[in-house]
């Protein structure tokens, strides 16, 4: 990512960090690599992620390690190592960082990609599912997305999924040769994977596949309808999608995805779900959780397609320009003073003439130029030029600062 791209990432990052703060999620940073076994146990031995996409290698100490293919398992590992399971619940965490999956690189899908995610541990309350979904909806609407579709499903729990898996196994047997080899092979280990097989013939064969709806146990059914009721109360429209299972084995009950249908193409921008068995799978106690993750590159691509990205960052800050070399000491004081009070500020170090400095300020996308020195601006006086309106004023330094702080709020970092 080069500087010309960075401001686009900042749009996303600022929106995410701002929401994490207002929803009261706290940051966790985990290592980029973990014991490979952690992902095998949590994401699932039979998932595409672990089987085909995970970077896995033996280090010099003979340990089998993996570059993290997703963010949740590492968070759970750290959480357990530091006794968070014994603290008052719920625990609300967020993360942001690179993930790694070996796949054919294509636009919006790199082998090193960035994910942002939140996790809410310790409660099965449907309100916590709704909070995570609402967060995701707020995140996308804050970025300017207007017509995303929210797809929702319940993937059941340990007590009701086996009966659905049996129904799927029966279905796979009936379809026989119509399904790809992989799907037939998975019939015993993990028949749910048939639902997200990308092979065309499998997609076609899915038209009369049994749905999980009829197999949900009373608890899962009640949980799912409570989630739906709260979503309606929150005026979040959704579509029940019985084929939505998500690619990771650890999901239970709620699964959701936000789909962009721009220009007819369907594109998942992110989603999540409940994972009530994950903490246990990672060696901890039985502790429920729900979360979501979104991919930065994929969202940026969608924002670009939908015209939601500004072509350039908005002009901001102050360029301190010199009318003559004698004023350099004064200009330096002004420069550092502006920085100290929170402005993005810059000056010329290449001995350029005034005209060239104005060009430099323009190129650097500065909103204001403060011209220091020269006969008409003796002593304390200086000229403040608004590069957007073209307006220009002769002011004392104090008045200039007052004008600047009024015209433009001081730059505050949104990050904690
Ligand atoms: Zn159930
Ligand atoms: Zn298949």
Distance 288 CA to ligand 1 centre (A): 14
Spacing, Cα 208 to ligand 2 middle (Å): 15
As beta bridge partners, residue 259 has 149, 268
Reduce the secondary structure of the chain to three states and give it as a string: CCHHHHHHHHHHHHHHHHHHHHCCCEECCCCCEEEHHHHHHHCCCCCHHHHHHCCEEECCCCCEEEECCCCHHHHHHHHHHCCHHHCCCCEEEEEEEEEECCCCCECCECCEEEEEEEEEECCCCHHHHHHHHHHHHHHHHHCCCCCCEEEEEECCCCCCHHHHHHHHHHHHHHHHHHCCHHHHHHHHHCHHHHHHCCCHHHHHHHHHCCCHHHHCCHHHHHHHHHHHHHHHHCCCCCEECCCCCCCCCCCEEEEEEEEECHHHCCEEEEEEEECCCHHHHCCCCCCCEEEEEEEHHHHHHHHHHCCCCCCCCCCCCEEEEECCHHHHHHHHHHHHHHHHCCCCEEECCCCCCHHHHHHHHHHCCCCEEEEECCHHHCCCEEEEEECCCCCEEEEEHHHHHHHHHHHCCCCCCCCC
User: How many Cα neighbours within 13 Å face the side chain of 35?
Assistant: 9
Residue 180 CA to ligand 2 center (angstroms) comes to 4
Neighbours of ion ligand 2 (CB under 5 A): 180, 183, 197, 199, 202
217 CA to centre of ligand 1 in angstroms: 4
Query: Which strand ranges, in their side-by-side order, compose the sheet holding 33-35?
Result: 33-35, 64-67, 56-58
Q: Which ligand is nearest to the CA of 179?
A: 2
Find the 235 Cα to ligand 1 centroid distance in Å: 26
pLDDT value for 379? 55
190 CA from centroid of ligand 2 (Å)? 12
C-alpha 234 – ligand 1 centre gap (Å)? 25
Ligand 1 centroid to 163 CA: how many Å?
10
- What distance in angstroms lies between residue 12's CA and the mean position of ligand 2's atoms? 35
Ligand 2 centre distance from Cα of residue 33 (Å)? 31
The Å distance, Cα 156 to ligand 2 centre, comes to 22
Q: Which residues contact 154 (CB under 8 A, 6 or more apart)?
A: 212, 216, 220, 221, 223, 224, 227, 253, 254, 255
Report CA(196)–ligand 1 centroid distance (Å): 21
Distance (Å) from CA 46 to ligand 2 centroid: 14
Predicted local distance difference test score (pLDDT) of residue 173: 87
pLDDT at 416: 35
Rounded CA gap, 120 and 319, in Å?
Answer: 45
Strand partners, 294: 116, 270
> What residues pair up with 118 in beta bridges, in sequence order?
94, 292
Query: How far, in Å, are 12, 123, 219, 302, 407 from residue 309 at the CA level?
Result: 10, 37, 43, 9, 24
The Å distance, Cα 296 to ligand 2 centre, comes to 28
pTM of the model: 0.89
Give the Å distance between the CA of 218 and the centre of ligand 1: 7
The ligand placed nearest to the CA atom of residue 162 is 1
CA of 254 to the centre of ligand 1 (A): 11
pLDDT of residue 414: 41
Please report, for residues 144, 212, 303, the alpha-carbon distance to residue 307 in angstroms, rounded to integers and kept in the order given: 9, 38, 6
pLDDT, residue 369, reads 97
Distance 337 CA to ligand 1 centre (A): 62
User: What pLDDT sits at residue 413?
Assistant: 39
Domains of the chain: 3-146+251-305 (3.30.930.10), 318-407 (3.40.50.800)
For residue 283, report the distance from its CA to the centre of ligand 1, in Å: 22
Mean pLDDT by 10 residues, the chain (416 residues): 91 96 98 96 86 95 97 94 96 98 85 97 98 98 94 94 90 86 82 82 85 94 98 96 81 95 81 94 94 95 92 91 90 95 96 96 96 66 91 89 71 39
- Closest ligand by atom to 218 CA: 1
Closest CA to 162 of 121, 244, 220: 220
pLDDT score of 375: 58
């Amino acid at each position: 990512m080069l500087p010309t791209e960075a401001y686009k990432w900042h749009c996303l990052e600022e929106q995410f960090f701002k929401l994490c703060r207002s929803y009261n999620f706290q940051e966790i940073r985990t290592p980029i690599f973990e014991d490979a076994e952690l992902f095998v146990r949590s994401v699932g031995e039979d998932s595409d992620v672990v089987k085909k996409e995970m970077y896995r290698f033996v280090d010099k100490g003979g340990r089998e390690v993996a570059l993290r293919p997703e963010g949740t398992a590492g968070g759970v590992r750290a959480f357990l190592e530091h006794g968070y399971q014994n603290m008052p619940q719920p625990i609300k965490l967020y993360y942001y960082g690179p993930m790694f999956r070996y796949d054919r690189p294509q636009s919006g899908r790199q082998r090193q990609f960035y994910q942002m995610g939140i996790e809410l541990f310790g409660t099965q309350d449907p309100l916590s599912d709704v909070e995570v979904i609402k967060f995701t909806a707020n995140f996308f609407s804050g970025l300017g997305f207007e017509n995303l579709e929210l797809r929702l499903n319940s993937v059941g729990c340990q007590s009701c999924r086996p009966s659905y898996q049996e129904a799927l196994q029966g279905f796979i047997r009936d379809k026989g040769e119509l399904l790809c080899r992989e799907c037939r092979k998975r019939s015993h280990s993990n028949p749910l994977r048939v639902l997200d097989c990308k092979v065309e013939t499998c997609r076609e064969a899915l038209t009369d596949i049994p749905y999980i709806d009829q197999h949900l146990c009373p608890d899962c059914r009640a949980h799912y309808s409570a989630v739906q009721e709260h979503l309606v109360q929150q005026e979040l429209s959704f579509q029940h999608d019985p084929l939505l299972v998500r690619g990771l084995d650890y999901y239970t009950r709620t699964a959701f995805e936000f789909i962009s249908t721009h220009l007819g193409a369907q594109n998942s921008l992110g989603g999540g779900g409940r994972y009530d068995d994950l903490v246990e799978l990672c060696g901890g106690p039985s502790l429920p959780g729900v979360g979501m993750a979104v991919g930065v590159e994929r969202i940026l691509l969608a924002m670009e397609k939908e015209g939601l990205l500004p072509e350039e960052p908005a002009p901001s800050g102050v360029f301190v320009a010199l009318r003559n070399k004698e004023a350099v000491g004064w200009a330096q004081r002004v420069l550092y003073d502006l920085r100290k009070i929170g402005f993005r500020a810059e000056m010329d170090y290449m001995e350029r003439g005034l005209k060239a400095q104005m060009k430099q300020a323009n190129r650097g996308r500065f909103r204001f130029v403060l011209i220091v020195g020269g006969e008409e601006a003796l002593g304390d006086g200086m000229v403040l030029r608004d590069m957007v309106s073209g307006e220009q004023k002769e002011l004392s330094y104090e008045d200039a600062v007052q004008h600047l702080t009024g015209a433009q709020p001081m730059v505050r970092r949104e990050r904690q």
